[in-house]
Amino acid sequence: MAHVWRMIAQRLALGFLTLFVVSLLIFGATELLPGDFAEAILGQSATPETIAAIRRDLGLDLPFHTRYIGWLSNVLQGDFGKSLANQQPVIELISKRLGNTLFLALYAAAMAVPLALILGILAALFRNTVFDRMSNALALTSISFPEFFVAYILILWFAQTGYFPSIVRFSPGIGFGESLYRSFLPALTLTLVVTAHMMRMTRAALINLLASPYIEMARLKGMSPMRVILRHALPNALAPIINVVALNLAYLITGVVVVEVVFVYPGLGQLMVDSVSRRDIPVVQAVALIFASAYVLLNLTADVLSTLSNPRLMHRR
């Protein structure tokens, strides 16, 4: 087992290194700003004196590495600075919305992952039948649809007829079931967007294995096709499946931005879009850092899990 722990530790270290570089990139991106931060804050009303004052205020006259270390240590303590738009601390803007976005992403994942796995296994089981072709064509189509198209179709079908609300509002004190109901449409949109890819990859991973001799053997022994797939093919297909599931969960992170805007969902994605058009750099930095960390961590988890699903690595002699 020792080497497994060592490998996981290595991956974790690499993951944190990536996070560090990502934070450097997100902070460093402001250096590309035409002019600088102080001019961006002041806009039209910039005079040399006010610019110098703000520079001193924000520490912009310090060298890059000093500012970066200061920013990073503040971020690690939960201080993302103040929003340029309304002078509120960024952390206050973010904290409630982060929970909402996580709720939506988990909700969508809880629907999408089982659905994709079941459909993928069924498609592999009934490959080259009408069911397989239909689900394949549908998957290809839904990959090609922009998220907002899917979202508006769902609004037309479900919200128009009054089954579900098309605008998500969380009032304080609503129960868990009520929040599930209110955010059903955005979660369903995200599910539809990510399921197709996961399903196709599950099917491909399984079918890839079906040509191998040991599957042939299992079939010759007279096993039922269902058992061949579930007991013999699936365990060996786990690594690619875990990878694609993680990749798509990471994709949820970006999908969430558009979907939140369509349904006016009070989450991070909406905040980010609003801040981009206002060019509110501290908020964008903070949200980008959160999204990027989630992305890096998901990829890391997938890496570790797909290693753990490989018995050759787990029980190496």
Partner 1 sequence: MSILISIFWFAVAVVGAMALGWLFRAFVVAVSPQRQAQEMRTAPLTASFGLLVILIYVLVAALAPIIAPFGESEVVGGEFLPWDSTYLLGTDNLGRDMLTRMIYGARNTVGIAFTITALAFFVGTVLGLLAAVVGGWLDQVLSRSVDVLMAIPSLIFSLLLLTIFGTSVLSLVLVIATVDATRVFRLARSVAQGIVVMDYIEAARLRGEGKWWLITREILPNAMAPLVAEFGLRFCFVFLAISGLSFLGLGIQPPTADWGGMVRDNATLITFGDLTPFLPAGAIALLTVAVNFVVDWQLHKSSGLKE
Residue ranges in contact with partner 1 by CB under 8 A: 18, 21-22, 25-26, 29-30, 32-34, 128, 140-141, 143-149, 152-153, 155-157, 159-161, 166, 250-251, 253-254, 257-258, 261-262, 272-273, 275-277, 279-281, 284-285, 287-288, 291-292, 295-296
Q: Where are the beta strands (DSSP E) in the chain?
A: none
Q: Which is nearer to partner 1, 152 or 170 (CB)?
A: 152
CA proximity to 309, closest of 2, 4, 12: 4
Q: How far apart are CA 29 and CA 40, in angstroms?
A: 14
Closest approach of partner 1 to the CB of residue 311, in Å: 28
**Neighbouring-strand partners of residue 82:** 89
Q: Which is nearer to partner 1, 30 or 243 (CB)?
A: 30
Q: Which is nearer to partner 1, 159 or 223 (CB)?
A: 159
Q: Which is nearer to partner 1, 66 or 160 (CB)?
A: 160
Closest approach of partner 1 to the CB of residue 229, in Å: 18
DSSP per position, 115-174: HHHHHHHHHHHTTTSHHHHHHHHHHHHHHHS-HHHHHHHHIIIIITTTSS-SS----TT-
Q: Which two tokens stand for residue 197?
A: 């890819």
Q: Which is nearer to partner 1, 73 or 160 (CB)?
A: 160
Closest approach of partner 1 to the CB of residue 29, in Å: 6
Q: Which is nearer to partner 1, 51 or 151 (CB)?
A: 151
List the Cα angle 102/106/108 in 5-degree steps.
120
Contact, 287 vs 272, CB < 8 A?
yes
Neighbours of 253 (CB within 10 A): 18
